[in-house]
Every structure is written in C-alpha cells, then in structure tokens.
Structure 1
Amino acid sequence: MKNVTLKDVARAAGVSYSTVSRSLSGGPQIGRETRERILRLCDEMGYTKNYVARSMVMRRTELIGLVVPSIDNQFMAELAYHAEMSARARGYNLMLCNSGPDLRQEKAVVKLLVGRQVDGMLIVPQEHRSCEELRVYTEQVPTVFLSEDLRDEPLSCVTTDNTGATYLAMEYLRSLGHREILYFGRRHTVTHQLRAEGYLRACRDMGLTPRIVDSSFPRSSVAGGYELARELFTKPLDYTAILASTDSNALGILRAADELGIRVPEQLSLMGFDNIASAAMPRIDLTTVEQSKREMALQAVEILLDKIERGTQGYVHQILMPSLVKRSSCRALT
C-alpha cells in the first residue's frame, strides 16, 4: 500500500505533473474542463495533500493543538467544537488532546503537540500550577489558555467573570426569596475559587450565612455531583436552594434528588453554572449562569492566530461577561 501522489494522478489523467499541480492550486492557465476532470480523478483515486512536505516548504503546519482535561465533560466538548469551527473558518485544523487526571499527562500531551510542530496551542489547564509546569513548552509555541483565570500571569487567556457570575446567580435566588442557599462545588482551581468568592461576597452583601459543600473530586462531573448529593441528602433539608458550581454537578444533584423523592423546584430550587446543552432538556430545564463557549473559543482562536500570523508579542487577558438563563428549576418562595 502507498499514498497516491500527484505523479500517479498525472499518469492516470494523461497530463503533466505541473498541470495537475496548477489545477489543484487554481492556476488561471488551466481550463475549467481540464481542472474539473483532474479534481474528479483526485477524488476517485483518493489523493490527499502531503501536509508534512507542504509544511516544510511553508514553515507552517496550519495545525492548532487543543488540550482539555476531559472531552467527556460536556462543557469541554462544546468548547472544543466551537474552537474547531473557529479554527477551520480561518484555514486551520485542530488536534485535540485529553490531558487526563494529572499534571504529568498534561505535560506529556503538550510536549507531543510541540513535537508535532503545531503552529499554536489552546489549553484548558488542569490547575493554576499548569502554567509554570508547561512554561518550557509554551515559550516555544504561541499559546492561549481558556476557561482558567490567569489575571496574575503574563500569559494570554480568555475566561468568564466567574466572581460576577456567581454573584449574579445569588442575586436572582435572593430575588425569589431564598435566604438559605447552599453552594455546592470544588475549589481546586483559581476559576472555582473565584466562583466561591462570588458566592461568599454575595452572602456578605445580602446578610446571608455562607454554607459551602466542598467537593474533593479533581474535576466536575455528573457522577461526582450525584455521589456527594446522595451523602448530603441523608440529612434534613434546612436550606431552600442549591447553587452548583457547574451544570455537571447540578445534573448529578438532580439525579440524586429524583431517586430520593426530593422534588425540584417544589422542595428545593437548583441552579447550575455553564449552560451546557443538557441543561435545556425538557425534564431537566435547569436554571443556570451561561458562560458562552462559542465566544470564548472564538476570542481565543482570534488571539492565537494574531500571534501566529502577525507575530504579536505580549499577552491578552479577555474576561467575558456571564448571563442568566432562567428555566424551571428555581421557584419563588411564597
């Protein structure tokens, strides 16, 4: 077995190598009928461009690496989709890598991308320490971080105003009459620390007593939210609302509540964070705070390509504003 080459196509078409090459590049000296015949023959024979050889000539691979902690997380999957669409619209392909559960795996996949000669990288870091761990590689290749707030780092990042987002959520729950509001999440990253900070600030401003359930899980998931909620619900419900730090956690809470006969929102109002696609499903209909995955991906790709194509130096901190998505999982107290 061997790859089909331009010479193979030229031989089958009965034309010169240069005629095939010019047909593929859209050269004006090739007639429409000849070009269409050659393009049709390329498809039939399974010809593909040799991007490796092309990159050696162009000194660019037109390939961007995207590193996410886990593609089975719906937020990450949606973010990856929008990143690929944005990159493709600009003529770049995306190489997707899961960094797994620890910093060693994250470092390994970033090293792989640099070795593959990607033109740039988009990274959703495992945690704040990732920046220093990966610096030896990110200094070699243009890089933009997503989702994690790196306001104290001289690195380009695109994230959401996480503190403002949870404050916005608390304002909404308070407007519905809730005063006993439990915050459900983890604080392993700066992003989640900022979300908890927004909750605590809202409690101070509104005269509420903070109530936090800390998750020990390394990342947010439906399973993790479910497991922690099952334990939580063994005790009496002395709160009227839960603000979950992610929609994934909220979905796990909803599943546990359903199994234990706790009615949402009649007995317990529930609010999430992210606005993943599942949150809008009819039986879920989760009220949540949206951070725009599409806008985050679009901004990150634009910043990255500016670095790649124009050689832009320095760094950019882009903070996106959240919005409230009201559905039926929260009710007003009478």
Structure 2
Amino acid sequence: MKSVTLKDVARAAGVSYSTVSRALSDSPQIGQETRERIRRLCDEMGYTKNYIARSMVMKKTDLIGLVVPSIDNHYMSELAYYAEVRAQARGYNIMLCNSAPDLRQERTVVQLLVNRQVDGILIVPQEHHSCEDLKPYADQVPMVFLSEDLRDQPQSCVTTDNARGAYLGVEYLYSLGHRDILYFGRRRAVTHQLRAEGYLQACRDMGLTPRVVDSSFSRSSPEGGYEMAKELFRKPIDYTAIFASTDSNALGIMRAADEMGIQIPEQLSLMGFDNISASALSRIDLTTVEQSKREMATQAVDILLNKIERGTRGYVHQILMPSLIKRGSCRMVG
C-alpha cells in the first residue's frame, strides 16, 4: 500500500507543497481557515508524518526509551505511566522495553534503543552492576537510572531513601506495640539491601531481635509472595507482624493468610513498601511505605531532557524521601 505524502495532500487541497508544510507546522504565514482545511484533509486521507525523514533533518527523534525489568509488576507499570505522562507533556514519546529475564536481555534492549536513535534512555536496572555493564551506551546517549540507588556511581539516578523508608515502617509497628516483627524481603538489588539495612538498624535502635525471611529466590510479585507465605504459615506463627519489602509480595502474603484462616490484622499485622494503587483498595487496605512514583518519574524525565535539550553534563543523584501510609492492615497489640 502506498503511503499518503504531503504532495498528495497539496494536490487534493489545490495548494502548493510549501503551503501544506507551513500549515502543519503552524506557520503564521498561513491563515486559520486554510490551516484547518488542510489538517482536516490530512485526517481524511490518513496522512502521517514521516518521522524518520524528519529526524534525519532535525538530528532528533523526540523519542525516549524506557527500560523496566517487567511491565507486569505493579510498581513498574505505575512508574512507566507517570514517565510517559511527563514525557508527553514535554513533547516526547516513550518506547517501552522489558529487560527480563537477565542482564544479557537488558543490554540487548538498550542496544536496540540506541540503534533506533532515541534521544535518551530511562532505565530501571535489573542489578546494581547494570550501570557498569551499560556504560558503553551511556557514553553514546543520555541516560538516567530510576529506583536503584547509584550514589556510588558516576551516573544520574533518581531513587528513594529506602533505608529510611524501612526504618519508618519498623518504627510505626513498634509504636503499635509490636516486638516480634518478621521482615520478608529480597537481598539481591541494592534497593532491597538498603531496605533490609533500614529494618536491621531499626531493630538495633529499638532493642528488637531481627527476623528475616530471604525472598531473593522468588519474584517480587503477588504470586511469589503467596508461594513463600504458604510455606511460612505452615510453621508456628510466633511473631505479631510481617513487614514485606514490596507491596506486591504483601498482596501474596495476604492471599495466603486468607486461605489458611489467618486474619489480618486481628491475628497478624501486615505492612508493605511502595504504595502501589492496589494497596488502597478497600478489601486490601494495606499499610505501606510510599515512594512517590509520580515524583520519581517526573524528576527522572526532567533530568534526562535537560541532558538532551541543554547538553547538561555531569550527573545528578536525586534521593526522594519516603512517607508512611497508615491503613487498616496493622493494629495495636499488647
């Protein structure tokens, strides 16, 4: 099938090629009536801009790559949504890529984006080492990392103070009278290492005995949390609260508790981390630590566009403060 060109539109409108071009670029040389007639005709004929040709002329694609480990993760999908909203508000479109299941795939999709000549890349890395692995591409195209704490790396990143967030969670549970708090978390990524460290530091400061269930061999997902919680609940429950390192895992823990007749919060308090949208649903009502996905995505996009549009050099480490969201999944004890 033949694509509709500007010349086709000009012929149908009975005007010159340059008139059509000016009308579509909002040139003040073209009257409002003519501009609207030409745009209406473009819609009727199915004309679309040739972005490849335009990018060759302008040396710019107005396209940003966004790489996440898995878009079916609630946290990642919300982060991607806010990134797209901000990018579109500033005149850019997003090309979304999943980097799972391994670091080779992460490198492959970043290479794909560079080959497609995106203006810049936002990436939620799979691991802390991703930064070094992707350095050859970061030298070619502006790049900003999200979520992972890269304060020890010379790359721009926007993340949350994860250690502080976990400390806030333990502090709140302690204020409710909980002295046996089980931490359910992963230790693989630096983000989760920091959350675990925040939990351990809070336990030290409050005189609590740390109790950690390592979920590193399970996905951070409702399904992963569910499977591990089923095993956990087959043993005697000698703790009064579970602090899950992600809301996704907390949702799985909640499901396992429901199936096994464990009432939340009457028998067991439950707290998550992230504040994904599902946490606020009335039947879930999960107390959680919030890291602002909107703020993280917005700041990351702005930092990236400063690199693209202003040629900003160097790197920025932006650490956002978490906050506690109190809902109904935790209760006072003792």
TM-score above 0.5, yes or no: yes
Q: How much identity, in percent, do the aligned residues show?
A: 79
Give 1:231's aligned residue. 231
CA distance in 1, matches of 2:217, 2:31: 63
CA distance in 2, matches of 1:216, 1:83: 27
CA distance in 1, matches of 2:316, 2:26: 38
Give 2:249's aligned residue. 249
CA contact (8 A) 1:101 1:218 kept: no
Q: Tell me the CA shift for residue 29 of structure 1.
A: 1.8
Give 2:296's aligned residue. 296
Q: Tell me the CA shift for residue 33 of structure 1.
A: 1.3
CA contact (8 A) 1:67 1:99 kept: yes
Give 2:216's aligned residue. 216
CA distance in 2, matches of 1:180, 1:116: 52
Q: Tell me the CA shift for residue 138 of structure 1.
A: 1.2
One-letter code aligned to 1:284: I
Give 1:25's aligned residue. 25
Q: Does 1:136 align with 2:136?
A: yes
SS for the counterpart of 2:121 is: strand
Give 1:333's aligned residue. 333
CA distance in 2, matches of 1:221, 1:262: 20
CA contact (8 A) 2:218 2:224 kept: no
CA distance in 2, matches of 1:216, 1:124: 18
CA distance in 2, matches of 1:31, 1:270: 63
**TM-score (norm: length of structure 2):** 0.99
Q: Which runs of 5+ in 1 are unaligned?
A: none
Give 1:162's aligned residue. 162
Number of matched pairs: 334
Cα deviation code 1:151-186 (max 9, x no counterpart): 100110000000000000011000000000000011
One-letter code aligned to 1:175: S
> Where does 1:109-124 land on structure 2 (aligned, <5 Å)?
109-124=109-124
CA distance in 2, matches of 1:29, 1:102: 54
Give 2:78's aligned residue. 78
SS for the counterpart of 1:319 is: strand
Mean Cα displacement is larger for which, 127-136 or 293-302? 127-136
Give 2:127's aligned residue. 127
Q: Tell me the CA shift for residue 74 of structure 1.
A: 0.5
Give 1:177's aligned residue. 177
CA distance in 2, matches of 1:49, 1:314: 35
Cα deviation code 1:113-150 (max 9, x no counterpart): 00000110000000011111111111111000000000
Q: Does 1:259 align with 2:259?
A: yes
Mean Cα displacement is larger for which, 126-135 or 198-207? 126-135
Q: Does 1:152 align with 2:130?
A: no
SS for the counterpart of 2:36 is: helix
Q: Tell me the CA shift for residue 218 of structure 1.
A: 5.6
Give 1:35's aligned residue. 35
CA distance in 2, matches of 1:123, 1:45: 38
CA distance in 2, matches of 1:134, 1:22: 41
Give 1:99's aligned residue. 99
Give 2:204's aligned residue. 204
**TM-score (norm: length of structure 1):** 0.99
CA distance in 2, matches of 1:94, 1:9: 29
Give 1:313's aligned residue. 313
Q: Tell me the CA shift for residue 216 of structure 1.
A: 3.1
CA distance in 2, matches of 1:285, 1:303: 34
CA contact (8 A) 2:128 2:190 kept: yes
> After the TM superposition, which segments of 4 or more aligned residues of structure 1 sit over 4 Å from their partners?
none
Cα deviation code 1:252-299 (max 9, x no counterpart): 000000000000000000000000010001100000000000000000
CA contact (8 A) 1:188 1:218 kept: no
One-letter code aligned to 1:164: R
CA contact (8 A) 1:19 1:30 kept: yes
Cα deviation code 1:29-55 (max 9, x no counterpart): 212211111110011111111111111
